[in-house]
Chains A and B, each alone.
Chain A
């Protein structure tokens, strides 16, 4: 058994080196060599070629003329992640949702509240959800059309263009990437 102790210590050091240093460094090397764009955070640029964020990390939009993202308790601060973890019976959850619905009704008087999808007024788990559901994009069209003067038909087309289906046609849910949607909307507004 005395011999086991020495083997145990040597094994610990060997595996710290193999699994803790060599393995991640080798993976990093291969990833950077063959897939640099994916490996570095899938950054996206606007039409002028300036990096405006990551396709995978949601953003907050103050301007109501943009498509709005979901609720985020961390305000889409990508330095952290997470949410408030309100349990289903937590009164604060109900109050927050009621406030969101009220703000929504004020900003979107033309859309009946019964059409407001639950995804838009709930907090994602990460607080960084880059997507909204296609329905959540559609309901924002009347407001955006009014504020920007772009016709509802063109906005419908825009949303349709940026709607991604399920992966392999099977896994996950259809979704719209808000940042990519708004980048194109920005150029449409500018024209």
Chain B
């Protein structure tokens, strides 16, 4: 049954790609269509509220400027809310103000779509903060990433100086995608027993007469956008392994599809913008092929279990159940793990710290590549970056002019791509090394030996990839970790985003070159291979030494 239920989820996903990708195309193509009648008036009202009079296209520099200003304004306001949450409304459990470095880390974490959580939701946030900061930023950061991806696609596929209007994209991402989808998913989740209330913590007398406190709150409305926006920050400390966040197999599947469907549909949207649907499927196929390898690895590793536990003489036929929930078992846990780091959501329904070494290698590696579907928008941008790189390398090898989508790839683009590609390992491996050189960093490790190396590596990889899952044993709520991961999250989010929007801006201004016999085709099976090869050679080799020291070494010691 394990493989069957996984296969069904994959099949549903593939069926969703075309309709969803088409819908997203209609939303952002800015050509009049039916959705205008439903959402047009709401959007015009919001444009009025925010004072958006100039709705013309922006150059890439202006687009980036508008994006950064909006993100900066949200960050400042939310920082303020966290610091004074004790005097704001909706605080039935009397939660106090959040400490400075933790507030810094939290707002950065949510504005960058990372959702790394160094606080525990039950005790660290008032309901107002959960709603006005956490839930709200889950929408806005997803809409920001989505807008950036759409602007990038426009630049790659259109001609002219402009790549769209950021504020319009940002508003439409809310009104036409995230808000309606979130409301529907919320109500479905409540129907399947996820709580949605503003009352304070419950107190019950148990069957044996003991007192049990049960934290509760507006869980479902956070749960839906947490996945739809590939955010990942849980209402509770235990995230989606908490039975209130994810009470059964069906909610698990809904949460998986919620976080996966939009990133999976974006390559198709890209194909529509490029007027070459095959090109979209090529990108999708490369992502899916890589995903299969990762999924198969984590599934078989967890099913096979931990050799040290298997030697204890008990019935271990179920696999490695440490850190996993009975209702999910191995199949739904493995699938969730593979998807959450592929889509860089970072929500977890089992504890990644407790995964077998090879099982834990999978989420780590997916975040290191950061392009196997990838987070809201960013994954597609990264994959297209690898595609340009693949064209460049393959084109030079066979002596063809490097062209992508009818435009020549020139030194400027390659320099920008080099910045984006090198940034990722730099902000992962650099801080990891620093953490090991200082007592402040080393002191947080809770599992000794090679596993400790993985814990630190995972924390920075998760921050850089804006994923947010963690090897949660790490005692990371200290100034050192709050500040270093905060900086890594910022660089991981904005440096590559700005570099790639610059690439898009430069692409848009280029002359189109007619396709000739000498053009390297990028919309066939061969290019799927070239793309996967580029991702593996460039992405994977960079991290191999670090992986060998962590999960692989641990695997060998378990025997």
Contacts and interface: CB of A to CB of B under 8 A. Distances in A.
Given A35-B190, A52-B207, A79 B215 contact: yes
Given A41-B202, A57-B243, A125 B77 contact: no
Interface string B45-71: 010011110100000001001100110
Contacts of A32: 196-197
A128 B242 contact: yes
Contact of A124 (B50, B199, B314, B323): B323
Contacts of A172: 5, 248-250, 252, 327-329, 332
Contacts of A170: 1, 4-5, 8, 249
Interface in A9-41: 9-16, 18-21, 23-24, 26-28, 30-32, 35, 38-41
A81 B312 contact: no
Contact of A86 (B194, B225, B305, B473): B473
B447 interface: yes
Contacts of B8: 170-171
B189 to A, nearest CB: 9
Interface string B533-559: 000000000000000000000100110
B446 A85 contact: yes
B55 to A, nearest CB: 11
B77 A173 contact: no
A43 interface: yes
Given A7-B52, A41-B202, A130-B243, A167 B326 contact: no
B327 A131 contact: yes
B451 A87 contact: yes
Majority secondary structure, A binding face: mixed
B191 interface: yes
B440 interface: no
A60 B207 CA distance: 9
A145 interface: no
B325 A85 contact: no
A104 to B, nearest CB: 9
Given A61-B207, A97-B312, A38 B193 contact: yes
A14 to B, nearest CB: 5
B243 A128 contact: yes
Nearest to A78: B214
Which interface class (under 10, 10 to 19, 20 to 34, 35 or more) fits A?
A: 35 or more
Interface string A75-93: 0111111111111111001
Contacts of A28: 196-198, 218, 221
A171 B451 CA distance: 32
A82 B306 CA distance: 21
Interface in B176-232: 179, 182-183, 186-187, 190-199, 201-202, 204-208, 210, 212-216, 218, 220-222, 225
Given A170-B5, A183-B207, A27 B187 contact: yes
Which interface class (under 10, 10 to 19, 20 to 34, 35 or more) fits B?
A: 35 or more
Given A88-B308, A173-B329, A124 B194 contact: no
Contacts of B213: 77-79
Interface stretch (B354-362, B485-493, B521-529): B354-362
B315 A117 contact: yes
Contacts of A123: 322-323
Contacts of B472: 82, 85
Contacts of A35: 190-191
B403 interface: no
Given A53-B207, A123-B323, A39 B197 contact: yes
Contacts of A7: 50-52, 66, 167
Contacts of A79: 122-123, 201, 213-215
Nearest to A39: B196
Given A12-B74, A171-B332, A101 B248 contact: no
A53 B179 CA distance: 33
Contacts of B195: 38-42
A6 to B, nearest CB: 6
A30 B187 contact: yes
Contact of B450 (A6, A89, A130): A89
Contacts of B340: none
B212 A57 contact: yes
Interface stretch (B96-104, B131-139, B276-284): B131-139
B238 A125 contact: yes
Enumerate the 8 nearest inter-chain pairs by beta-carbon distance, A residue then B residue, closest first.
A172-B249, A20-B136, A85-B473, A125-B241, A171-B249, A173-B329, A78-B214, A20-B132
20 contacts: A4-B62, A7-B50, A8-B70, A10-B51, A21-B131, A28-B198, A31-B220, A41-B197, A56-B193, A57-B214, A59-B212, A81-B236, A87-B473, A88-B355, A94-B309, A97-B312, A101-B312, A122-B324, A126-B238, A179-B207
Given A15-B140, A61-B207, A171-B252, 17 more contacts: A7-B52, A11-B52, A12-B70, A40-B216, A52-B205, A53-B206, A59-B207, A60-B210, A83-B354, A86-B473, A88-B558, A93-B322, A113-B314, A166-B1, A171-B250, A172-B5, A186-B207
Interface of A: 1, 3-16, 18-21, 23-24, 26-28, 30-32, 35, 38-43, 46, 50-63, 66, 70, 76-90, 93-94, 97-98, 101, 113-119, 121-133, 135-136, 166-168, 170-173, 175, 179, 182-183, 186
